[in-house]
Amino acid sequence: MTTHSATLREQIEEMIAVGELKPGQHLDETELATRFGVSRTPIRETLIQLSSMGLVVIRPRRGAIVAELGPQQLVEMFEVMSELEATCGRLAARRMTPAEQQALLAAHQACQQALEAQEPDAYYYKNEVFHEAIYAGSHNQFLIEQTRALYRRLRPYRRLQLRVRNRLTNSYSEHDGVVKAILDGDGELAAQLLREHVMIQGQRFSDLMASLPQLAA
């Protein structure tokens, strides 16, 4: 993959993550080509890549749309996501190097600053770095790839979740417990806390469902 097409993919992926391109929205190749100053060929290739990641659905003779997730699909994906994160946490507690532990602490600190500034979007990006530090600490490449792929698929929804009332504060305090468990080498506790941190059920599911129209608005 050329650097240019990777950049293009990242830019369109980001537009989907932040809700600039909304679930169900038709993706016009000509419009995107004009927007990015490229021909339609790299746009088409990028949409195929995004479709293999599950972010875009290509329909025969009707073009591409941004993928939509129904409530049932969302619950199932978050259920798997929470187990993948739990496994990363369990392994990270056993395998993280001192340098990786420092990177985790630095990411945790950055989340605290974004929380204090009450900036959900800044927190969202710092939160990604925090979770990525845990994945890296698992030292299991296959697990890292699978977890990242699902994380990317759920990005728009994870981002939306952080806008729900009090979620930033709760998210940060949950991170705090995870960091302590990992630094203490307590894999089981780290796994349990990450599972609860990522899982959406009960009130959190209702809150996410209530805020979904914001994503599509």
Which structure tokens are listed for 125?
Answer: 């990006």
Taking alpha carbons only, the member of 52, 53, 43, 48 closest to residue 17 is 53
Place 3 in a pLDDT band, splitting at 50, 70 and 90.
Answer: low
The residue among 1 and 147 whose pLDDT is bigger is 147
The predicted pLDDT at position 151 comes to 94
Residue 185 pLDDT exceeds 90: yes
Please state, rounded to an integer, the average pLDDT across all residues of the chain.
92
Interval 42-71 mean pLDDT: 92
The predicted pLDDT at position 181 comes to 98
Chain centroid, CA 44 distance in Å = 24
Beta strands in the chain (DSSP E): 26-27, 56-59, 63-66
Interval 43-48 mean pLDDT: 94
Share of residues in the chain with pLDDT > 70 (%): 98
The amino acid occupying position 16 is I
Residue 6 pLDDT exceeds 60: yes
CA distance 28 to 25: 9
Backbone angles phi, psi at 56, to 5 degrees: -130, 145
Interval 16-35 mean pLDDT: 91
Strand order across the beta sheet in which 26-27 lies: 26-27, 63-66, 56-59
Write the CB contacts of 28 (distance below 8 Å, at least 6 apart in sequence): 63
Q: What domains appear along the chain, each with residue ranges and CATH number?
A: 3-66 (1.10.10.10), 71-216 (1.20.120.530)
Place 16 in a pLDDT band, splitting at 50, 70 and 90.
Answer: confident
φ/ψ bin of 166: left (φ > 0), alpha (ψ from -120 to 50), beta (otherwise): left
SS3 labels along 30-86: HHHHHHHCCCHHHHHHHHHHHHHCCCEEEECCCEEEECCCCHHHHHHHHHHHHHHHH
Place 203 in a pLDDT band, splitting at 50, 70 and 90.
Answer: confident
At residue 125's C-alpha, the angle toward residues 121 and 128, to 5°, is: 135
The predicted pLDDT at position 4 comes to 74
CA distance 187 to 34: 50
The predicted pLDDT at position 207 comes to 86
Torsion sign over Cα 201, 206, 207, 212: positive
Interval 162-186 mean pLDDT: 93
Write the CB contacts of 128 (distance below 8 Å, at least 6 apart in sequence): 151
Interval 51-66 mean pLDDT: 92
Whether the Cβ atoms of residue 171 and residue 118 lie closer than 8 Å to each other:
no
The predicted pLDDT at position 159 comes to 86
Chain centroid, CA 91 distance in Å = 20
The predicted pLDDT at position 196 comes to 96
Place 216 in a pLDDT band, splitting at 50, 70 and 90.
Answer: low
Strand 26-27 to 56-59 pairing: unpaired
Chain segment 75-99, per-residue pLDDT in tens: 999 999 999 999 999 999 999 999 9
Place 1 in a pLDDT band, splitting at 50, 70 and 90.
Answer: very low
| Residue 190 CA: distances (Å) to CA of 23, 90, 168 | 33, 6, 20
* DSSP conformation class of 66: E
